[in-house]
Amino acid sequence: MPLFIHVLHYIISHLLCTKVLIPCLEMHKEAEDDYAHLSSLLQEFTSIPNIDKAWLFSSPGLHLQGMFAVSQSDLLTNTRRTSIMSCNILKERNSSVNFLWAPFPIEMSGVSVIVPSPSGSKLLVIRNPENEAACCFQIWSSSRMEKEFHIPQSLHGSVYNDGWFEGVSWNMNETCVAYVAEGPSPAKLTFNGLGGYKIDGCADKDSGYWKCQGDWEEDWGETYAGKRQPALFVIDINSGEVQEVKGIDKSLSIGQVVWAPFTEGSEQYLVFVGWSSKPRKLGIKYCSNRPCGLYAVRLRALHHDSKSNEPVLQSTEEFHVLNLTQTISSAFFPRFSPDGKFLVFLSARSAVDSGVHNATNSLHRIDWLTNGKPFQSSKIDDIIPVVMCAEDGCFPGLYCTTIHSNPWLSDNCTMIISSIWHSSEVLLSVNLLSGEIVHISPVDPIFSWNLLTLDGNNIVAISSSPVDFAQLRYGKAIKKETNNTTWSWSNISSPIFRCSDKVRSLLSSLQSCILRISVKDAHVGQTKGATKPFEAIFVSSKTNTKIEFDPLIVILHGGPQDVSLSYFSKYLAFLSTVGYSLLIVNYRGSLGFGEEALQSLPGNVGSQDVNDVLSAIDHVINLGLASPSKITVMGISHGGFLTTQLIGQAPDKFVAAAAINPVCNLALMIGTTDIPDWCYVEACGTTARNCFTEPPSADDLTLLYNKSPISHVSKVKAPTLFLLGAQDVRVPMYDGLQYARALKEKGVDVKIIMFQNDVHALKRPQSDLESFLNIGVWFNKYCIYGASESRDFLKT
């Protein structure tokens, strides 16, 4: 054998031992160490609580009191643990405000809904049932539980507490509560072993009998699978009598009920939102483009209790239900002004009319008559119209995820709203008469703000940034001689957001900013809004230098009509504290930048959004903030669509990827998803929003396939982690599995984690922790330990 063959054999053997085999063994050990180290740190982040709601109460002769609903992940039970933290609020003569907190929170085990009465003298606590048990309603006073009622499944199922259909409302006399719950279980045929049958003649567990499945009932898709139609009920809290409100078309799903104001002797009405299920129900979670309207229904006259002389609900009759918003395609979150003169509501008519699942909101007003009697032809006044394209620095349009149940200042015509403004959430004051909009939270785009509750004309809010924990803030309006109002904000000391010294130290080493990025592919024919710069949030170590760069994770939100906001995320903060810079891109089509920019994306997915992300990456590289050799990418839903598009269209740019319930093949998804209309709108444009009513043609399927990441799968090189929810009906798991299997067949490193009991958002505590733990380990493997280099060497 020639000498050079011996030498070559020796060199190859030496390289395999020293450069490949040994590192492979080391990487296995490093992966184990990663899991141990990262899981310990991640649990320190996940243990930080959230404040979900807050209420303030005033009592004669006492200081103001506060009650805060706090939730925290419970990993062992895979649920969120809810507790109540109480405080006394002292207002000093020097205008300072002190919150004196109770030493310990009180856990509210099994509680689904908490709603104080208007006066604050009563507290309604609702505990939803497990399985076929009864729903429990408790009425509490300041010292004890006064009443407890158990509502059987024959009357209704669980009370909705989802933030969308959810509606629980006390009447002003505090004698009745209106609420939305699942309708009663439909009767089913029951069979015995001898061939006989009857209708609902036995319990589910009775031996010798079994119940048939019954007719399949269509639901509202993602997170509502198996839930029955939401219906409207009223409970008399003195007697416990429950009545379903009659006269409502059974095709309407009910939500967001409120009592209309009334005076003694006048008729009493409930106002609610109704979504029609005709001709079929489509997925409604994260989809404000489902047509809906405000309705009013009259209740039968109330009689007076002979002992207390308090008005009590007698029953409901079949009165004609009035549609208050016939002239507009969307109306939700109804709120009455404290003086009863105005009914205010949000509208997503831009989303409904165009077909995109979220869009710019508008705000509207109906003048309510003093006799409390509504009219079907009520005039609807625009308070805030849809903003198409705002000038730089100006109000970009209204983007609300909710309206507080009591958002009013004392003038009865000014409301406080949380709204998205580019990459931040801000607080706005809105005057219903003049339409004046004032940005009242401090103008610092790296912080986001959210309204918790109001204290008269003062505000309790939360603010945070990507590198700053949530902080309770107290805002006071200060009027100047020019009649202009400014707001003074102070920090509220609170034990709620305390964390370990280790986590606090890690966060103190980070910095964040918002980058404006110019559009590269602007062309003639585009709207002005479609050519304006988009934004990205950049998070990095303060010690990141142009000599030694931290690896970069590009993070992409779903939707695509959604947005990543500059608030504190425990999971993203965790990734940034373990050695990664974050580039969180709000590509054109995101909420918060005007309707023209948003509407530029439908029909252009897979190209315009991909180009925006690549431009953002080039931008931070050109600024000297990141290295082109250590870039990873991750995203959920449409963010997963973008992730898998990018690793196919720019295969040499990314060293690793993570896709969470990704849209990989629209041609496959359209036949299985709860939102087939979304597939057509995003791939073909808004003119195709009604195409889903017909089976897709061969041409449709070809177009959908060509718009999908699966069409680029043959070019992918980046090792990819897939995190999939087995109960996902929005992007069913087979979409991601098909793509992952195709990568495996061509030799790309793939890892799949299937969460058997989770849905599209993967929001259960164990899913959250396992997802981000594996993302950290996966990216470490290919960014820090150089496993991709070893893999490439083995292939050669």
pLDDT digits (tens, 9 = 90+) for 331-341: 999 999 999 99
Please tell me the predicted confidence (pLDDT) of residue 685. 95
Please tell me the predicted confidence (pLDDT) of residue 233. 97
Q: How far is CA 319 from the centre of its chain?
A: 36
Grouping H, G, I as helix, E, B as strand and the rest as coil, residue 487 is strand
More confident residue, 193 or 541: 541
HSE-CB of 309 using CA atoms within 13 angstroms: 1
CB contact at 8 A, 85 and 68: yes
Residue 19's pLDDT band, with cuts at 50, 70 and 90, is very low
Residue 223's pLDDT band, with cuts at 50, 70 and 90, is very high
Q: Note the pLDDT tens digit of each residue in 184-209.
A: 888 778 887 666 666 665 555 556 67
- State the average pLDDT for the chain: 89
Read off the pLDDT of each residue in 223-227 and give the average, rounded to a whole number. 92
What percent of the chain shows pLDDT beyond 90?
Answer: 78
Read off the pLDDT of each residue in 94-105 and give the average, rounded to a whole number. 90
Q: DSSP code of 16?
A: I
Q: Note the pLDDT tens digit of each residue in 586-628.
A: 999 999 999 999 999 999 999 999 999 999 999 999 999 999 9
Please tell me the predicted confidence (pLDDT) of residue 340. 92
Separation between Cα atoms, residue 352 and residue 52, nearest integer Å: 29
Q: Look at residue 497 and tell me whether its pLDDT is greater than 50.
A: yes
Q: Note the pLDDT tens digit of each residue in 435-458.
A: 999 999 999 989 999 999 999 999
- Which pTM was predicted? 0.91
Grouping H, G, I as helix, E, B as strand and the rest as coil, residue 417 is strand
Please tell me the predicted confidence (pLDDT) of residue 790. 37
3-class DSSP string for 136-192: EEEEECCCCEEEEEEECCCCCCCECCCCCCCCEEECCCCCEEEEEEECCCCCCEEEE
Grouping H, G, I as helix, E, B as strand and the rest as coil, residue 88 is strand
Read off the pLDDT of each residue in 165-189 and give the average, rounded to a whole number. 92
φ, ψ at 243 (rounded to 5°): -125, 135
Query: DSSP of 531-575, one letter per residue?
Result: GS-EEEEEEEETT--SSSPPPEEEEE-SSSS----SS--HHHHHH
Read off the pLDDT of each residue in 410-429 and give the average, rounded to a whole number. 97
User: 10-14, 170-174, 468-472, 611-615: which range is least confident on average?
Assistant: 10-14
The residues annotated with a catalytic role in the active site are 637, 728, 760
